[in-house]
C-alpha cells in the first residue's frame, strides 16, 4: 500500500481508471442485507470519512433530489438527472459517484464515457425505466416503421439506443412539436407524461406506451383534491409523471384552485419556482425526498407533500453505508457498451438541443 495516499495501489488515479480498495476505519461496520447496505450512521465521523475518501479517489459525489437528506447534504452537487449528468460531464474529477438510480448513472456514463462512474448500490433500479425493454421497443417500432421514437430520460441505455430523441419533462412538448406533424410519434415509457404531451400538442398521432412509475402513480387526484380543499390558497407543484397531473389541471379549469397556483414542473423546476415564489404554503406532488431541497431553497415556505408515503424504495437504497462502501471498494462500477453508448448519446444530445430541457426527473 502507498502509505502517503492510503491507497492499496502503487499508481496514482488517472481519468477513466478505477483504483483499488481504500482503507477506512468504518468499513468493517458495513453490512449487506436483503434491503441494501446498512450498519453505518450519518455521523460527523462518517461525513469526514466520505470527504476524505472522495478526495483520495478523485471523486465528485452527485445526489438526486429524491435521495435521503444525509446523502443530499454530503454530496458536492444535488439536482435532477439531466442537470447532474451535465455536471458529471464537465467535472474535473476522474470518478463520478452517482447517488441515484441505475439509469441515471448510465446516462452519466453515456455523456462521460472516459470517466469511472460508480453507483453505491447497482440494485437501485426504477419501475418506470423497467416498464419497457429494448426488445419490446424494437417490436413496437416494427409495427410503426415510419414513426419517430421519443423516450423520456427514465429509460435504460439499451432503450435509448433505439430512440430518435430523448426528452425531459421540461421539454417533452417542445420535442414532440419539433417533429413533422404528419409523422407518427411513439412516446415512452410514461403514460402520464404522454397524456400531458398529447393534451398540450393536440396531436392524436402520438402513441403512448402504458408505463408508469409506481411511486408517482400512487399520488392520485383524490388526494390532491382533498389537500387543495384543506389548504386553500396554497400553490400546487405537480410533477407531470404523477397520476394527479390531470386532476391538477382539471381543478384549475373548474376554478377549484386558481390556475396561476398550479405549476407542472420537473424537480429542478420546482427548486427554481420555490426560490422565486411569494407563496406561504406549497403542496408538492412528487416523491417526498424533494421536500428537503425545497425547504433548503425557500425555508420561509411551508412545503407539504400531497402523499407523505410517496417514497421511492430504489432511491432510498443509497444509504450512508452504501456510499461509504462505494468509496472504499470503488464499486459498483457502471459499464455501457461503447456502441450502445454512442447511439444513445446521439438521442440525448438531440434532446439537449431542443427547447429548454431543464433537468428531467
Among 86, 102, 115, 216, binds ligand SF4 (CB under 6 A): 216
Does residue 212 touch ligand SF4 according to CB under 6 A? no
Does residue 101 touch ligand SF4 according to CB under 6 A? yes
Q: What angle do CA 105, 110, 115 make, to 5 degrees?
A: 75
Q: Determine phi and psi for 276, rounding to 5 degrees.
A: -95, -5
Among 158, 165, 173, 312, binds ligand SF4 (CB under 6 A): 312
Does residue 213 touch ligand SF4 according to CB under 6 A? yes
Residue with Cβ nearer ligand SF4 (104 or 110): 104
Residue with Cβ nearer ligand SF4 (216 or 325): 216
Instruction: Report which of 250, 278, 251, 282 is spatially closest to residue 265, judged by C-alpha positions.
Output: 282
CB of 128 to ligand SF4, least distance (A): 4
Residue with Cβ nearer ligand SF4 (106 or 361): 361
CB of 136 to ligand SF4, least distance (A): 17
Instruction: Report which of 111, 92, 53 is spatially closest to residue 336, judged by C-alpha positions.
Output: 111
**3-class secondary-structure state, position 345:** helix
Residue with Cβ nearer ligand SF4 (238 or 257): 238
d(CA 120, CA 141): 34
Of the candidate spans 34-42, 82-90, 262-270, 310-318, the one that interacts with ligand SF4 by CB under 6 A turns out to be 310-318
CB of 193 to ligand SF4, least distance (A): 10
- Which parts of 109-128 interact with ligand SF4 (CB under 6 A)? 126-128
Binding track over 59-88 against ligand SF4, x by CB under 6 A: -------x----------------------
CB of 3 to ligand SF4, least distance (A): 41
Instruction: Report which of 147, 155, 154, 156 is spatially closest to residue 176, judged by C-alpha positions.
Output: 147
Among 248, 274, 315, 351, binds ligand SF4 (CB under 6 A): 315
Torsion angle of the four alpha carbons 128, 129, 130, 136, in this order, in degrees rounded to the nearest 10: 110
**3-class secondary-structure state, position 271:** helix
Instruction: Report which of 57, 27, 85 is spatially closest to residue 324, judged by C-alpha positions.
Output: 27
Does residue 287 touch ligand SF4 according to CB under 6 A? yes
- Decide if 342 contacts 248 (C-beta within 8 A): no
Does residue 251 touch ligand SF4 according to CB under 6 A? no
Does residue 314 touch ligand SF4 according to CB under 6 A? yes
Residues touching ligand SF4: how many (CB under 6 A)? 14
* DSSP alpha helix (H) spans, the chain: 44-56, 69-74, 81-90, 102-111, 134-143, 157-161, 172-177, 191-201, 214-217, 221-230, 245-254, 267-276, 290-297, 320-329, 338-352
Residue with Cβ nearer ligand SF4 (58 or 212): 212
- Decide if 2 contacts 10 (C-beta within 8 A): yes
Does residue 151 touch ligand SF4 according to CB under 6 A? no
Does residue 301 touch ligand SF4 according to CB under 6 A? no
- Decide if 243 contacts 286 (C-beta within 8 A): no
CB of 78 to ligand SF4, least distance (A): 15
Residue labelled with grid coordinates 425555508: 299
Residue with Cβ nearer ligand SF4 (18 or 218): 218
What letter would DSSP give residue 334? P
Positions in the binding site for ligand SF4 (CB under 6 A): 66, 101, 126-128, 154, 213, 215-216, 287, 312, 314-315, 361
Amino acid at each position: 500500500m502507498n502509505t502517503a495516499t492510503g491507497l492499496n495501489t502503487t499508481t496514482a488515479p488517472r481519468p477513466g481508471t478505477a483504483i483499488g480498495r481504500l482503507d477506512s476505519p468504518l468499513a468493517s461496520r458495513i453490512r449487506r442485507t436483503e434491503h441494501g447496505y446498512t450498519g453505518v450512521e450519518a455521523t460527523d465521523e462518517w461525513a469526514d470519512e466520505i470527504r476524505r475518501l472522495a478526495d483520495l479517489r478523485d471523486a465528485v459525489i452527485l445526489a438526486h433530489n429524491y435521495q435521503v437528506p444525509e446523502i443530499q447534504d454530503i454530496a458536492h452537487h444535488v439536482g435532477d438527472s439531466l442537470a447532474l449528468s451535465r455536471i458529471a460531464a464537465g467535472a474535473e474529477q476522474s470518478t463520478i459517484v452517482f447517488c441515484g438510480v441505475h439509469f441515471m448513472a448510465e446516462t452519466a456514463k453515456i455523456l462521460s464515457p472516459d470517466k469511472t462512474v460508480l453507483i453505491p448500490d447497482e440494485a437501485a433500479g426504477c419501475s418506470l425505466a423497467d416498464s419497457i425493454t429494448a426488445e419490446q421497443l424494437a417490436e413496437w417500432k416494427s409495427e410503426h416503421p415510419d414513426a419517430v421514437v421519443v423516450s423520456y430520460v427514465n429509460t435504460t441505455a439499451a432503450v435509448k439506443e433505439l430512440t430518435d430523441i430523448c426528452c425531459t419533462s421540461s421539454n417533452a412538448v417542445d420535442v414532440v412539436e419539433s417533429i413533422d406533424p404528419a409523422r407518427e410519434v411513439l412516446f415512452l415509457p410514461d403514460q402520464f407524461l404522454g397524456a400531458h404531451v398529447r393534451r398540450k400538442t393536440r396531436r392524436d398521432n402520438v402513441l403512448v406506451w402504458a408505463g408508469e412509475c409506481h411511486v408517482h402513480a400512487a399520488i392520485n387526484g383524490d388526494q390532491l383534491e382533498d389537500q387543495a380543499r384543506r389548504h386553500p390558497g396554497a400553490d400546487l407543484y405537480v410533477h407531470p409523471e404523477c397520476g394527479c397531473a390531470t386532476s391538477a389541471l382539471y381543478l384549475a379549469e373548474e376554478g377549484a384552485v386558481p390556475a396561476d397556483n398550479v405549476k407542472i414542473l420537473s424537480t429542478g423546476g420546482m427548486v427554481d419556482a420555490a426560490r422565486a415564489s411569494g407563496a406561504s404554503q406549497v403542496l408538492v406532488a412528487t416523491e417526498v425526498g424533494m421536500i428537503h431541497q425545497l425547504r433548503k431553497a425557500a425555508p420561509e415556505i411551508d412545503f407539504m407533500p400531497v402523499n407523505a408515503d410517496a417514497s421511492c424504495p430504489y432511491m432510498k437504497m443509497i444509504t450512508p453505508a452504501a456510499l461509504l462502501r462505494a468509496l472504499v471498494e470503488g464499486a459498483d462500477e457502471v459499464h455501457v457498451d461503447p456502441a450502445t453508448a454512442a447511439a444513445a448519446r446521439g438521442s440525448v444530445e438531440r434532446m439537449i438541443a431542443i427547447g429548454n430541457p431543464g433537468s428531467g426527473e
